[in-house]
């Protein structure tokens, strides 16, 4: 039988050729064009190639790579008409993400092309890819954003050791049970929508309308609940699923309940938590989302729970297990509700946000959405490059990342607030885009986010301990991020690196930095200036006394320590508590807006930190010296004071203990199933590569501290320390991924020939010289966080206007009269602010 729409004289196409044509055209590789009633294919090298998006199953490739699926159409096989019977409808073409300052069209010749499925302004989002062992329901879970009108206070904490009275789990009835992953297994392959075939029924069926048993479900994106046992009429004992391919890390929970009763008092007990201390023991409460309230009243996530207890489980088992118990009431009968540890932010939420960003004609002018790499499961790790329309030549770089630990969702909300502000039309946002190039990785561990892990990736290990391993096969996102920073350090100055995290044991927001015990007082305080400024800009959220700067041996593989050793002086981990704030007279939980405001405060602090007027920096430096001397209670030389004595406590985030090798025994490669049903090999490191090298123990503290000196501290002739952003790293090795090496690290293109060179920026654009002098800056540091608003807006508008008119106003040169600090812009001779590097 001849295909529909073809002339009768032509021969029917072969089945394989017809299938391949439909498949390739579905992903936009070539289109059908009618010419005289016939269809003629367009070559993949034609115009349509510039607008296509790669199929989700393609592997990673470098910027210069030109991958093709299949081969050229056979001359015997006529093309299948687009939209006719027997062929799937082609999705709308995905517009390409543009580089800052560029307009639409096919771009410049040789421009790196996105060989990944980037979010499109139209059409469906790429489906997340799951390990083959995971079952996934078809319902799409999406929640509304809502801010409670009143603060949500902490509840009265109960005794940590007081277990609530109730029935034991052994006497109950299992009402929900997911089959666990076999012990000792590891990731082998992945596919969209998880395990193939019909879904199982882990929930017990209701016996009738009068049955009050809750119906549990967690087989959706970021969900985590393995077992539910009914031990009373309205009492349940819950068991969380450990991180996939491990036996530990049970903290994050997120599940759905149905068949609720409004007048009943329910009690839930999670019986297998791993951490001995939690904010639940200090008044933190879980989160509830009612689908009926969201549709009828626009109410989203809210804090619920009474009699919240966090205690050690009895029985003396090892390792010790801890329980979280709380009582609550549901708002409606027969409602669909969700319970969660923190405000969920899924991989699909990120894709929806990036799709709106790409489709915005204004914001997409100065934000390029690219793919940093692919995860083990094949999910795209997105990289955002944000800068002004003038391009990135000569600008300093700020690198930000989030969600390396998938259960710490507050990092994604803080990143969301940062992106909302830096991409806005606010004067400070415009100034930031003029001065810096932002490299942002909003979700480093998409696989862990998709499956609902707490800390680990599909390699079964904590990615935030793998920055120093250099294992590309098991931790691709970490490897590519480090390679990108190495390449940036060889070409530019990286003024700041910050990784967004969440904390489960301490309230408020704080930072972890790096102090290697370098000689001298002021050089050791440079890392403390940025957190102190941030605490002054967010006094009701950020706690500077909670910040820690000691480099512990267990943290040497974290992002902040590795970036610091590479030459990024200001390298931090920002921790936002799962609970809330106890500062500024408030004792309440964080809301989504509180977390998003951290992104704005980070931008505000970055401008203060890089202010050409050194008054703020010097004042903060003196204040840090006073605070630490008050803590020590004695004077003397700082050369003899170890870093541990400068801090009241050195406890940081929980160290991650891996659960064996991430690869199959005896194999260095796993298998991955692409969206087309094809299985390809996925490189996974050999187990021996991941074992930390044993180092010879050093005998003295001075010898140990010598390892934490990545570069020499420079001082001006007057003896004052040079600001950290003027220290250019020396001897940084170039990344072994050349432009033709196919590593997939996409970078900002160099300024083309004939481009207008950067002009000197007016001194009035600086935050320290906006007509208000040092007095206004000091007033802000003393608590008036809004003192510089109008002046900053006026100065930014003047800077922007002067730049657009081509007016060259002199910027002070380093080492001038203002402060007399070597490397710091002074108030005199002309110099380009973006190019002033030493």
Tokens of 794: 């006026």
Tokens of 237: 């004992």
Q: Is 49 a catalytic residue?
A: no
Listed residue (382, 370, 392) closest to 749, CA to CA = 392
Listed residue (72, 65, 71, 82) closest to 116, CA to CA = 65
Alpha carbon 308 to chain centroid, angstroms: 30
CA distance linking residue 797 with residue 414, whole number of Å: 27
CA distance linking residue 794 with residue 318, whole number of Å: 63
3-class DSSP assignment, residue 26: helix
CA distance linking residue 774 with residue 769, whole number of Å: 8
The sheet with strand 287-290 has its strands ordered as 215-217, 254-258, 337-340, 287-290, 302-303
Name residues whose C-beta falls within 8 Å of residue 831's C-beta, 6 or more positions apart in sequence.
760, 810, 811, 812, 813, 814, 825
Provide DSSP, 176-197.
Answer: EEPPPPPTT-----EEETSS-S
CA distance linking residue 136 with residue 220, whole number of Å: 6
Q: Which of 133, 235, 575, 672 is catalytic?
A: 575
Listed residue (748, 638, 827) closest to 392, CA to CA = 748
């959405």: which residue's tokens?
369
């579905």: which residue's tokens?
26
Question: Which pairing describes strands 337-340 and 254-258: parallel, antiparallel, or unpaired?
Answer: antiparallel
Residue 607 exposure: Cα atoms within 13 Å on the Cβ side = 28
CA distance linking residue 591 with residue 589, whole number of Å: 6
CA distance linking residue 424 with residue 210, whole number of Å: 53
Q: Is the peptide bond before 319 cis (omega within 30 degrees of 0)?
A: yes
Provide DSSP, 94-142.
Answer: PPPPPPTT--SSS-STTPPP--S----SSSPPPPPEEETT----SPPP-
Kindly report the backbone phi and psi dihedral angles of residue 775, in degrees, each rounded to the nearest multiple of 5, phi listed first. Answer: -65, -45
Residue 289: strand pairing partners: 338
Q: How many residues does the chain have?
A: 838
Listed residue (547, 578, 606, 577) closest to 418, CA to CA = 606
CA distance linking residue 265 with residue 131, whole number of Å: 38
CA dihedral 737, 739, 741, 744 (to 10 degrees): 80
Instruction: Assess contact for 808 and 765: CB atoms under 8 A.
Output: no
Catalytically active residues, by annotation: 575
């Amino acid at each position: 039988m001849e295909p529909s729409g073809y002339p009768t004289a032509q021969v029917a196409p072969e089945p394989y050729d017809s299938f391949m044509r439909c498949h390739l055209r579905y992903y936009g590789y070539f289109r059908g064009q009618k010419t005289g009633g016939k269809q003629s294919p367009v070559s993949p090298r034609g115009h349509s190639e510039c607008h296509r998006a790669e199929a989700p199953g393609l592997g990673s490739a470098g910027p210069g790579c030109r991958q093709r699926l299949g081969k050229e159409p056979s001359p015997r096989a006529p093309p299948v008409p687009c939209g006719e019977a027997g062929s799937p409808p082609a999705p709308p073409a995905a517009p390409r993400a543009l580089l800052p300052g560029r307009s639409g069209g096919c771009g410049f010749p040789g421009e790196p092309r996105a060989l990944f499925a980037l979010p499109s302004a139209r059409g469906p989002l790429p489906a997340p890819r799951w390990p083959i062992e995971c079952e996934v329901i078809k319902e799409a879970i999406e929640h509304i954003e809502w801010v409670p009108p009143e603060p949500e206070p902490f509840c009265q904490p109960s005794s940590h050791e007081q277990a609530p009275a109730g029935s034991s789990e052994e006497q109950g009835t299992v009402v929900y049970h997911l089959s666990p992953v076999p012990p000792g297994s590891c990731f082998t392959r992945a596919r969209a929508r998880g395990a193939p075939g019909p879904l199982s029924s882990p929930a017990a069926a209701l016996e009738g309308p009068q049955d009050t048993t809750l119906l549990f479900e967690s087989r959706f994106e970021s969900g985590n609940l393995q077992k539910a046992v009914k031990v009373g009429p309205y009492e349940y004992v819950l068991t969380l699923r450990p991180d996939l391919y491990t036996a530990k890390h049970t903290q994050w929970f997120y599940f759905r309940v149905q068949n609720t009763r409004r007048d009943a008092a329910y009690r839930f007990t999670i019986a297998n938590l791993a951490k001995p201390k939690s904010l639940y023991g200090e008044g933190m409460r879980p989160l509830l989302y009612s689908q009926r309230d969201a549709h009828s009243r626009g109410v989203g996530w809210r804090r619920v729970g009474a009699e919240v207890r966090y205690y050690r489980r009895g029985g003396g088992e090892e390792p010790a297990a801890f329980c979280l118990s709380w009582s609550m009431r549901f708002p409606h009968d027969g409602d669909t509700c969700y319970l969660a540890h923190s405000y969920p932010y899924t991989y699909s939420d990120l894709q929806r946000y990036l799709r709106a960003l790409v489709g915005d004609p204004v914001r997409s002018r100065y934000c390029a959405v690219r793919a940093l790499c692919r995860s083990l499961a094949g999910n795209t790790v997105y990289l955002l490059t944000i800068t002004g329309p003038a391009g990135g030549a000569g600008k300093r770089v700020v690198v930000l990342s989030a969600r390396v630990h998938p259960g710490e969702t507050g990092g994604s909300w803080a990143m969301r607030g940062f992106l909302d502000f830096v991409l806005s039309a606010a004067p400070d946002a415009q100034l930031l885009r003029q001065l810096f190039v932002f490299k942002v990785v909003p979700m480093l561990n998409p696989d862990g986010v998709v499956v609902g892990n707490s800390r680990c990736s599909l390699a079964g290990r904590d990615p935030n301990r793998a920055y120093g391993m250099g294992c590309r096969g098991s931790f691709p996102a970490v490897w590519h991020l480090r390679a990108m920073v190495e390449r940036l350090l060889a070409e530019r100055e990286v003024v700041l690196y910050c990784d967004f995290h969440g904390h489960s044991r301490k309230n408020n927001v704080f930072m972890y930095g790096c102090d290697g015990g370098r000689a001298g007082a002021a050089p050791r305080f440079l890392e403390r200036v940025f957190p102190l400024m941030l605490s002054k800009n967010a006094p009701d959220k950020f706690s500077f006394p909670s910040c820690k700067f000691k480099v512990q041996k267990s943290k040497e593989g974290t992002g902040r320590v590795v970036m610091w050793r590479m030459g990024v002086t200001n390298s931090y981990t920002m921790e936002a508590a799962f609970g809330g704030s106890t500062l500024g007279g408030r004792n309440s939980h964080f809301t989504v807006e509180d977390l998003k405001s951290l992104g704005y405060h980070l931008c505000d602090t970055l401008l203060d930190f890089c202010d050409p007027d050194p008054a703020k920096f010097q004042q903060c430096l003196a204040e840090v010296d006073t605070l630490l001397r008050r803590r020590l209670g004695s004077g003397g030389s700082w050369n003899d004071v170890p870093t541990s004595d400068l801090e009241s406590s050195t406890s940081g985030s929980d160290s991650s203990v891996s659960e064996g090798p991430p690869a199959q025994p005896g194999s260095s490669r796993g298998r991955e199933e692409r969206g087309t049903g094809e299985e390809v090999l996925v490189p996974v490191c050999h187990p021996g590569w991941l074992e930390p090298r044993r180092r010879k123990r050093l005998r003295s503290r001075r010898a140990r501290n010598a390892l934490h000196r990545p570069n020499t501290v420079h001082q001006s002739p007057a003896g004052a320390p040079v600001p950290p952003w003027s220290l250019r790293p020396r001897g940084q090795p170039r990344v072994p991924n050349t432009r033709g090496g196919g590593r997939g690290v996409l970078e900002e293109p160099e300024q083309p020939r004939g481009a207008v060179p950067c002009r000197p920026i007016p001194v009035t654009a600086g935050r320290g010289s906006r007509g208000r002098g040092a007095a206004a800056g000091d007033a802000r540091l003393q608590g008036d966080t809004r003192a510089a608003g109008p002046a900053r807006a006026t100065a930014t508008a003047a800077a922007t206007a002067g730049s657009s008119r081509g007016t060259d106003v002199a910027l002070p040169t380093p080492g001038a009269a203002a402060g007399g600090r070597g490397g710091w812009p002074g108030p005199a001779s002309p110099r380009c602010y973006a190019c002033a590097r030493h």
